[in-house]
Amino acid sequence: MDRDLAPAVFTHAGYSGSDHPRGIRWEGCRMKVRRVIKEWREPGSKHYLVEAENSLFFKLVLLEPGGRWIISPVQFKSNS
């Protein structure tokens, strides 16, 4: 059985069609997003800093208008 190893972001479709990341696939493992720490916009993109399961942190970037996601693991010290 083949496993899909490609990184992916799973979202709840809001008014813009791809809001609120709910989960990610990273290195073949699907993980729930526990919380969105920060979200912001830059020209042509939407950014999220999220905490996933196992206290892993990722920066998610949605490139607009094409809808392509970029996923980057980050070091983040949480205060909670």
pTM as predicted: 0.82
For the cut 70, the answer to whether the pLDDT of residue 79 exceeds it is no
Position 79 in a domain: no
Task: Report yes or no on 80 lying in a domain.
Answer: no
pLDDT of residue 4: 57
Domain count, the chain: 1
Q: What is the pLDDT of residue 66?
A: 84
- Which of 56, 17, 16 has the alpha carbon at shortest distance from 33? 56
Confirm whether 2 is domain-assigned.
no
Q: Is residue 33 part of a domain?
A: yes
pLDDT of 1 reads 38
**Could you tell me if residue 1 is inside a domain?**
no
pLDDT at 17 over 60: no
**3, part of any domain:** no
Give a yes or no: residue 70 inside a domain: yes
Give the range of the structural domain holding residue 69, as residue numbers without chain letter: 8-74
Instruction: Indicate whether 38 belongs to any domain.
Output: yes
Separation of alpha carbons 37 and 7, rounded Å = 20
pLDDT digits (tens, 9 = 90+) for 21-69: 999 999 889 999 999 999 999 999 999 999 999 899 999 999 988 888 9
How many CA atoms does the CB half-sphere of 59 hold within 13 Å?
A: 11
